[in-house]
Amino acid sequence: MSVVILDGSTVRSFVGDEAAFTKSVDERFASLDLNNDGVLSRGELRRALETFRLTETDFGLDTTTPPEQLAALYDSIFDQFDLDGSGTVDLAEFRSEMKKILLAVADGLGASPIQIAFEADPDGGRSFLRQAADLEATKLAGDNRG
Ligand SMILES: [Ca+2]
């Protein structure tokens, strides 16, 4: 487990770094598309949300949230992702919604830094917030060199 400190501007600059952001989102999409059909089903997206741990930190839920409430939440999130109502989420929908979510997270964080502890991800992936923090660390290191 490692701990990073980030605030809204950290997340914002990650989302604003289009190449890095798109690459991360695309990689995550590919890893979530378990049956490799190029779209995310309801079940695949639900697994994604659980992986991101967004529900706990960003939607104000805790582990005592009843399952039926969680199911309703996942449904409403899926409908948000599925912009054209096709019943699946394609890469373009995934990108645009992840961007919106992370910018909302950035707004929520504002200028107050928070400390987040990350556990090692079993699939070797890193959460988006972790990647945001890592990207900023890389940039700061670059600035110090220059
Ligand atoms: Ca799929």
Angstrom distance (rounded) from CA 98 to CA 134: 18
| Band (126; pLDDT cuts 50, 70, 90) | low
What long-range pairs does 48-55 form, CB within 8 A, spacing at least 24? 49/74, 49/77, 51/121, 51/123, 51/125, 51/127, 52/127, 52/128, 53/127, 54/101
- Average confidence score pLDDT of the chain: 82
Q: Report the pLDDT value the prediction gives residue 55, as an integer from 0 to 100.
A: 47
Q: Residue 70 belongs to what domain range? A: 2-145
CA of 26 to the centre of ligand 1 (A): 14
CATH label of the domain that carries residue 91:
1.10.238.10
| Band (135; pLDDT cuts 50, 70, 90) | confident
CA of 94 to the centre of ligand 1 (A): 12
CA of 67 to the centre of ligand 1 (A): 24
| pTM of the shown model | 0.74
CA of 119 to the centre of ligand 1 (A): 26
pLDDT in tens, 40-97: 999 998 887 776 655 455 555 555 667 788 788 888 989 999 999 999 999 999 999 9
- For the chain, the domain total comes to 1
